[in-house]
Structure 1
Amino acid sequence: MVCGGFACSKNCLCALNLLYTLVSLLLIGIAAWGIGFGLISSLRVVGVVIAVGIFLFLIALVGLIGAVKHHQVLLFFYMIILLLVFIVQFSVSCACLALNQEQQSQLLEVGWNNTASARNDIQRNLNCCGFRSFNPNDTCLASCLQSSHKCSLCAPIIGEYAGEVLRFVGGIGLFFSFTEVCAKSSVFSPSCHRESCFVC
């Protein structure tokens, strides 16, 4: 069925914002799951993930209401917010994909030194103690410390996964940044050409 007017743009915006809603609920659910199973005890990390999920949910809600009601003011603010999010997200994604091994190692060390609670979670879950060196007087929650086995350092273990995680995060970030471009173009397009729109 061929559609015209605002119908095609509205359908595209609704579909994208439903996707953003699912992603936001997934982020909030992952944070709750991490707390429930004791994988994450850092309230700062969980707070950031939940805040990002709530922010994304509110943006998606504004986009959905604006698209369904064809509310020009909401769509304008939605477009401005998406532009700002796109700039930040695209920059972070490119930075994640461009980091070399040495830069990854420096970034991980800075994060290690600045987050005590997340450090304890990492040591417990990866069964390692210390980043590049371990002082026996420091606290370590890894199970290897209670046994007779020698504990591994965390830097090599984290380094194995850092590149893969950064590539994954960068790729997902780029994907969603291009969906934001699609959403902005849907807001800008006042009508739908018959040649390119077939589903109402």
Structure 2
Amino acid sequence: MVCGGFTCSKNALCSLNVVYMLVGLLLIGVAAWGKGFGIVSSIHIIGGVIAVGVFLLLIAIVGLIGAIHHHQVMLFFYMVILFIVFLFQFGVSCSCLAMNQGQQGKLLNSTWGMMTDETIKGDLENKLDCCGLLNTTQNQLQFTSDWERCSAPCKKSVPGCETCGYKMLQHASEALRILGGVGLFFSFTEILGVWLAMRYRNQKDPAANPSAFL
């Protein structure tokens, strides 16, 4: 069977969903590993990563079952959900690539305010060896409060501590470029999955009744 036929489309769609399943399992495994070794202590971060992994795993399972059985309804819902994920991921990836340093500072400031003390003290200040977010006039009171309760090792040194915001902004642009690039790449694999599923749904199974439209 030449590429582009029924068998080729079926195998390509199955292979793509197997990759999605592996990525989903990888996300779940990395989140569990990070929690087990104490790298990330916030249950919100762990729960978010696991939720993304489970969601991707479920979509891949639906697509894989639909591809194996040439199930029209499952393939249709797979196409719709994957296209919605593509639109969301494409938008987020482009936003990451276009974000400037001022916008990065605002994003860090809003994210910092949603973090728990356990996350700030354990996962950021102690591991990055820094205190507080950004020492600006807008958040002076918050910075003073963060500085007083900070227990990072750098407070005992002579030069003192740098702010966590300064350290994170040093690498934020590079991290956002990587995240945006990876997200953009996977978003195009998702639109490929939508195209394969749409093409596969409209093809006839040569092993079935030739007069039946599948």
TM-score, length-normalised on structure 1?
0.89
CA contact (8 A) 1:131 1:154 kept: yes
Superposed CA deviations along residues 156-188 of structure 1, whole A, max 9, x for unmatched, are: 100011111111111111111100111111111
1:188 aligns to 2:189 (yes or no): no
State the Cα distance separating 1:11 from its structure 2 match. Answer: 1.1
Secondary structure of 1:138's match? helix
Structure 2 distance, partners of 1:101, 1:4, is 46
CA contact (8 A) 2:40 2:46 kept: yes
One-letter amino acid of the counterpart of residue 131, structure 2: C
- Please give the residue correspondences for 1:106-121 in structure 2 after superposition, counting only pairs within 5 Å: 106-116=106-116, 117-120=118-121, 121=123
Secondary structure of 1:129's match? coil
Aligned residue in 2 for 1:166: 176
CA contact (8 A) 1:39 1:125 kept: no
Structure 2 distance, partners of 1:114, 1:126, is 19
Percent identity, aligned pairs only, is 53
Q: Check 1:139–1:187 CA distance in 2 against 1; reply closer, same or farther (3 A cut).
A: same
Unaligned runs of 5+ in 2: 136-142, 205-214
Aligned residue in 2 for 1:179: 189
Secondary structure of 1:150's match? coil
4+ residue segments displaced more than 6 Å = none
Larger radius of gyration: 2
Aligned residue in 1 for 2:91: 91
Structure 1 distance, partners of 2:41, 2:3, is 51
Q: Which structure ranks higher in relative contact order (CA pairs < 8 Å, sequence separation ≥ 6)?
A: 1
Structure 2 distance, partners of 1:4, 1:39, is 46
1:143 aligns to 2:144 (yes or no): no
Secondary structure of 1:2's match? coil
CA contact (8 A) 1:123 1:142 kept: yes
One-letter amino acid of the counterpart of residue 20, structure 1: Y
CA contact (8 A) 1:8 1:191 kept: no
Aligned residue in 1 for 2:105: 105
State the Cα distance separating 1:141 from its structure 2 match. Answer: 3.8
CA RMSD of aligned residues (A): 1.9
Unaligned runs of 5+ in 1: 193-200
Structure 2 distance, partners of 1:119, 1:30, is 21
State the Cα distance separating 1:5 from its structure 2 match. Answer: 3.9
TM-score, length-normalised on structure 2?
0.83
- Please give the residue correspondences for 1:18-33 in structure 2 after superposition, counting only pairs within 5 Å: 18-33=18-33
One-letter amino acid of the counterpart of residue 120, structure 2: R
Aligned residue in 2 for 1:67: 67
Secondary structure of 1:176's match? helix
1:126 aligns to 2:128 (yes or no): yes
